[in-house]
């Protein structure tokens, strides 16, 4: 497998997969002094996305009401 657009140091599939595995492994650990794991942050991010989508829908609805008058 060749990773297009990456430098020659990333053309070795084994190296890239090893880096990805290390990143995944490290993302599960909580940093010292932090209560937030990557999983917790992802859940919070998903909640924020939902909230922003609701705000956007309300805003668009308000704009439609204003232009209908």
pTM for the whole thing? 0.44
Say yes or no: 69 and 39 in one domain: yes
Which domain does 25 fall in, by range? 1-30
Say yes or no: 39 and 16 in one domain: no
Say yes or no: 48 and 67 in one domain: yes
The more confidently predicted of residues 63 and 56 is 56
Q: Taking all residues of the chain, what is their mean pLDDT, rounded to a whole number?
A: 75
Say yes or no: 24 and 47 in one domain: no
User: Of 46, 42, 47, which Cα lies nearest the Cα of 28?
Assistant: 42
For residue 32, give the H/E element and its range.
none
Reading the block at residue 18, the tokens are: 């090893």
Q: What percent of the chain has pLDDT over 70?
A: 57
Say yes or no: 44 and 24 in one domain: no
User: Of 37, 20, 40, 15, which Cα lies nearest the Cα of 28?
Assistant: 37
């Amino acid at each position: 497998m060749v990773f297009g657009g990456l430098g020659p140091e990333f053309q070795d599939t084994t190296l890239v997969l090893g880096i990805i595995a290390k990143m995944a492994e490290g993302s599960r650990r909580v940093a010292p002094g932090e209560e937030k794991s990557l999983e917790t942050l992802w859940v919070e991010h998903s909640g924020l996305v939902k909230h922003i989508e609701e705000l956007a829908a309300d805003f668009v609805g308000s704009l439609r009401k204003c232009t209908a008058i």
